Amino acid sequence: MWRIGNPTQTLQQNPYFGIPPCSSSNEIKIRTKPNIICFWKIGGRDMIRETFYISHGTPLMAIDKSVQARPFLEGWREKVLSKKPKSILMISAHWETDVPTVNAVHHSDLVYDFYGFPAPMYQLKYPAPGAPHLARRIQEVLTASGLKCAVDKKRGLDHGSWVPLRLMYPEASIPVCQLSVQSNLDATHHYNLGRALAPLKEEGVLIIGSGSAVHPSGNTPGSFFGVARWAAEFDNWLEEALTRRRYDDVNNYKIKAPNWKLAHPWPEHLYPLHVAMGAAGEKSKAKLIHRSWGHGILGYASYKFTSS
């Protein structure tokens, strides 16, 4: 007698397969044992194969049209990702917590987490809906992977999220959820965080890490004669390591990378990259999709990771 498996069961959940979870309107039929047939859903139209790391730079990019990265973000839908996501998960450098924390709100208020900027900066709005359902899913997938996950039911979007999103999706119609980084933990933790989030891509979630590829301390002098040598060396190393799939090197950047102490004296602006990298998977392909500089020391390099 033939027994039919659970139609909603994922390949990862089945004990006979070590394959990442899939879901879609299409199905495959696999015989797992004699007299047992199971059906699984594969490759759906909602799936977003790409994850991204973008450098959001200074908050002034929201109003300063001279920032070179601004046209790149404004042309996002035409040149980078034409497919409209069902929701967006932002991993922002500007939300640091001891354990991974997700905001679960119905309406996303803005956090003006900067000081001494022009008054119009504090009048900007981005009324995107929140994504409490996505927050619950994030908590589910992280917990299932053995990771802690707290929920914040009040926090809005900080400028690491809303500044780039205002340029990328100005209509503010897509639900947005934000996840924190843990500066007290290492890069591998954030890579594993991304791996745990990977199933969300199957559900049409766009995963974006938002930081800065090179983010020195505030008292680092700018370079008036092009890009500072130390900054270029780190930035070039990062591009080479990513595009050649040396993801272990990126996770161990404190051992492998030149000038990392200057480029990232604190890790919070690099860790969102590790999350995006982990969510794409170890066999993903990384591509540099933008590079520009602020004052010769603030790196705006951004990357696309495409799952195999």
Domain boundaries, the chain: 50-306
What pLDDT sits at residue 223? 81
Confidence of residue 30 (pLDDT cuts 50, 70, 90): very low
**To which CATH superfamily is domain 50-306 assigned?**
LigB-like (3.40.830.10)
Residue type, 99: V
Mean pLDDT, rounded, for 26-42: 39
pTM of the model: 0.86
What pLDDT sits at residue 40? 38
Contacts (Cβ under 8 Å, ≥6 apart) of 43: 22, 24, 26
Q: How many CA atoms lie within 13 A of 260 on its CB side?
A: 17
Mean pLDDT, rounded, for 267-272: 99
Sheet-wide strand order for 101-103: 150-152, 101-103, 176-181, 87-96, 205-211, 50-55, 302-306, 285-290
On the question of pLDDT at 8 being above 80, the answer is no
